Amino acid sequence: MQVKLHDIELSLRGILRGFGLKVGPTTPTRFEGRIRELVAGHPSLEAIAESLLAVRVTLRREFERFEKQLRAVARCDTRARLLTSVPGVGAIVSLTFTAAIDDPARFKSSKQVGAYFGLTPTKYQSGETDIDGRISKIGDAWVRAALYESANIILTKPLKGCTALKSWAMKLARRSGMKKAKVALARKLAVIMHRMLADGASFRHVAAAV
């Protein structure tokens, strides 16, 4: 649903760009007003914009309703509620992760979880050559995307309670680039979150030990 909402906004931007009208940076709440401002006085564009904006309003309303339902489910789920204490982890990420992990005991070590979700680099070894490639991308792509999004939020938003994690990832970003830092942080989050589920421990306690 969120993807479709994004597609509608991109379509509006693309149509207006074709007429030399640039939407520019905006926010979800200001987007509609900006579109109406640009199409004012252009009857054909006004009609197109009106239809697409109506679809956008419906999608936003349904998405918000869906999010509210997910937050309610997460609040009633002990494990998901525990994981939402992790900075950058909301109802969708916590529910996605707990569903994929199922029984934490099936992993002998929390460090195995990163590989299970395809967040560890592939390796090429031949003779004296030992090269780390891109991440394997095996396992559940939805979980991988959710963890990456949480990592992105930690690195790009002012959040409380994750200073050490953010500092660790930013040092890596300066050496290897932001994208690799986000992947590494996503992998670290997977390890921390599994340990939390396995021990029933708080984020602060587990993050300090991992």
Chain segment 177-188, per-residue pLDDT in tens? 999 999 999 999
Q: Which residue shows structure tokens 């934490």?
A: 104
Whether residues 99 and 183 fall in one domain = yes
Of the pLDDT bands very low, low, confident and very high (cuts 50, 70, 90), residue 126 is very low
Whether residues 52 and 103 fall in one domain = no
Amino acid at 70: L
pLDDT of 106 above 80: yes
Whether residues 67 and 83 fall in one domain = no
Domain boundary among 46, 74, 102: 74
**Confidence (pTM):** 0.74
Whether residues 102 and 204 fall in one domain = yes
Domain of 172? Answer: 78-209
Per-residue pLDDT, averaged over 135-159, amounts to 89
Which residues neighbour 56 within 8 Å (Cβ) at sequence distance 6 or greater?
Answer: 5, 8, 9, 12, 31, 32
CA nearest neighbour of 101 among 76, 86, 83: 83
Domain boundary among 74, 92, 109: 74
